[in-house]
Structure 1
Amino acid sequence: MAALVRLLAPLEIAAPAVRTAISRMVRQGWLTPVKLSSGPGYALTPRAVRRLDEAIARIYRTHSNEWDGHWHVLVTSRVPERSRRERVRAGLSFLGYAPLDDTTWIGPRRSPEADALLEAESLRAERFTARHDGDSASLVRRLWDIEGLARSYERWLEDARELVRAADDNPDDETAFAVRSRLLHEWRKFLFRDPGLPRQLLPEDWPGDEAAKFFDLESSRLLPAANRFVDACLEEESSD
């Protein structure tokens, strides 16, 4: 906990907020208490590891984006409870699915996390892969707000260029960590909006391409110094 408090201080996150967040993550099943050589600590749960692996693959686009023209289709049983229904909707949307109706969802590819999400909600679903017999680009525009997403990428790029001005050609480690963390935090918000659609279904002048290039360039540039700051925080904890 002490190492996390030091690590998050450059982001202006106070110690009480860190402790509250950790407690909430334990209750939600993302972290589990463990005993470390230096005292009490926390470890990621298997569920958190799966979520982080999936998120990292989407943030840094480590998976191939080649598309064979098939959609992944989920047909779920009906969910009568509103709160549970909203959780399912939020979870499947995060994984890149969009609803055709109340019980049918489609995504450009199967998400490894979909089964775990449905199991956690005790929700039965039939799974299919299928080709769309029609204009898939029109289907995409109907199911996802492509114009709104494009505007979000344009705004992100404008804000990101302003943000990285704080980290010049040779930033100190703490500044590099803070700027890169904020850059990554804003970029990861697209996980909740961008389903990772095949490039051939997006407009030719898609602003997400330029935004992704800028993110890749700046996050890579700042990574060595940011890593040094993380290591220093952890080493300080080990020496206490």
Structure 2
Amino acid sequence: MNAPIEDFLQRQLAEQAPRAKSLCVTLLGDALAPHGGAIWLGDLIELTSPLGVNERLLRTSVFRLVSQGWLQSERIGRRSLYTLSPQGLRLTAHASARIYIGPPSDWNGEWTLVILPRTGNGQLAERAELRRELVWEGFGVVAPGVFAHPQADAGTAHEILEKLEIPGRALVLRGHELPGAGGLPLSSLVQLCWNLDELAAQYRDFSARYAALQALLARQAPSPAQAFTLRTLLIHGWRRIVLNDPQLPAPLLPPDWPGLAARRLCGALYWQLFAASETHLQAIASRDNAAYTPLAPGALSRFEGAPAEAAALAAQQA
């Protein structure tokens, strides 16, 4: 065991202890979904224990994920096998674009607008829920009842309206600003519609934390168990930031946007840890588990693509 790396792990867990349920979602989406998405409960407990999650909290979290439709359970003898449900697979796939790909580097100038017409007080709850869903997807509030995003397509907005069963309650438009028409351009409202200062501070903190890990890894390799714990902690911290990032295209971001450097660092560390972490994952999650499959090829496209060593490991496991 690499003692300096273990010290780093313990410091991070003390400063930013992950919540059990959220950590489970991270682990399911990052590590298990590419391998079929199924695991015995006892093996999940073993994987999360080094991350400070005790068995009672883990069991409670898994129960909640089942009740919320993320997981399906199957009782086999005295053991329980948990599998990502179709809904869980959709949700993890949706989050993966933000986590592993990020915002576009260019932009065609188009905006998606969602406009809620003024209605009576009887629909306030629906409007509040729609606002929460749109903001979660990165839409900015331009004015009361008016939301805008330069990257999300109109289909995303329609999916939210269908999900809330109010498809006929809002206008969904797609369009450009008119050049030379005068008036206030939407792009000038970026700082008002999105809290980029707070987001930038989170990215800088992430980079400061994990630059220290990069220095440690340059001196000594972690054990497979440490690599898996570090990978999970890395992606968990990254996920907490990027899922609250509106994913604005580069032309709308401030100069020297710290999210770009943070993403490069996260990707570099991810692939440094990947091969050893997969060795540990396979040793535990594949035990007596016919649903555990070789790594899905799509996982190798994360963070602009795996280096040769990670690709070679995937070929060996297949």
**Structure 1 unaligned runs (5+)?**
none
Q: Distance in 2 between matches of 1:86 and 1:160?
A: 37
Shift, 1:93, TM fit:
2.0
TM-score by length of 1: 0.86
| 2:160 aligns with one of 117, 133, 141 | 117
User: What letter corresponds to residue 214 of structure 1 in structure 2?
Assistant: L
Specify the alignment match of 1:23 in structure 2.
63
Select 1:140's aligned residue among 185, 190, 204.
Answer: 190
- Give yes or no for contact 1:2–1:237 (8 Å, CA) kept in 2: no
Deviations 1:35-73 (A, max 9, x none): 669954232233222221121111111775432110111
CA distance 1:85–1:178, change in 2 (3 Å): farther
Per mean C-alpha deviation after superposition, the further-off stretch among 148-157 and 40-49 is: 40-49
Match of 2:49 in 1: 9
Q: Which residue of 2 aligns with 1:54?
A: 94
Shift in CA distance, 144/62, structure 1 to aligned 2, threshold 3 Å = closer
Asked whether the equivalents of residues 76 and 103 of structure 1 are also in contact (C-alpha less than 8 Å), the reply is: yes
- 2:235 alignment partner AA: L
Q: Shift of the alpha carbon at 1:11?
A: 0.9
Indicate the structure (1 or 2) with the bigger Cα radius of gyration.
Answer: 2
Query: In structure 1, how many angstroms separate the alpha carbons of the residues matched to 2:187 and 2:149?
Result: 13
Does the 8 Å contact 2:72/2:82 carry over to 1? yes
Q: 1:180 to 1:17 in 2, by over 3 A?
A: same
- Residues 103, 248 of structure 2: 8 Å contact kept: no
Deviation at 1:164, TM superposition (A): 5.0
CA distance in 2, matches of 1:102, 1:31: 37
What's the counterpart of residue 260 of structure 2? 209
Q: Per the alignment, do residues 163 and 85 of structure 1 end up closer, same or farther by CA in structure 2, a change over 3 Å counting?
A: farther
In the TM superposition, residue 15 of structure 1 has moved relative to its aligned partner by 1.3
The count of corresponding residues between Structure 1 and Structure 2 is 237
Deviation of residue 87 (structure 1)? 4.2
TM superposition score normalised by structure 2: 0.66
Task: Give the letter aligned to residue 52 of structure 1.
Answer: T
Distance between the aligned counterparts of 2:83 and 2:130, measured in 1?
26
Amino acid in structure 2 at the alignment position of 1:130? G
- Whether 1:222 aligns to 2:273 is yes
Distance 2:103 2:262 in 1: 18
- Equivalents in 1 of 2:56, 2:258: separation in Å? 39
Find the aligned partners of 1:48 and 1:224 in 2 and give their Cα distance: 25
Q: Is the 8 A contact 2:104 2:250 kept in 1?
A: no
User: Which deviates further from its counterpart, 72-81 or 124-133?
Assistant: 72-81
User: For the Cα contact (< 8 Å) 1:173–1:226, is it kept in 2?
Assistant: yes
| 8 Å Cα contact 2:113-2:146 kept in structure 1 | yes
Query: Does the residue aligned with 1:195 lie in a helix, a strand or coil?
Result: coil
- 1:216 is displaced (CA, Å) by 0.8
Distance in 1 separating the partners of 2:246 and 2:171: 21
Q: Deviations over 1:9-43 (max 9, x none)?
A: 12111111111111111221222224669954232
Could you tell me which of 187, 193, 196 is aligned with 2:247?
196
Deviates more, 1:35-44 or 1:168-177: 35-44
SS of equivalent residue, structure 1 residue 188 = helix
User: Secondary structure at 1:58's aligned position in 2?
Assistant: helix
One of 96, 102, 124 as aligned partner of 1:80 = 124
Which one of the candidate residues 112, 126, 135 is aligned to 2:171? 126
Deviation of 1:179 (Å): 1.1
Letter in 2 for 1:88: L
Per-residue Cα deviation, 1:91-117 (whole angstroms, up to 9, x for no partner):
322212122234322112235554443
1:150 matched residue in structure 2: 200
CA 85–28 in structure 1, closer or farther in 2 if over 3 Å, else same: farther
139 and 162 in structure 1: CA distance in 2 versus 1, 3 angstrom threshold: same
Percentage of identical aligned residues: 27
Higher relative contact order (CA 8 A, sep 6+): 2
Which residue does the alignment assign to 1:66?
A: 106
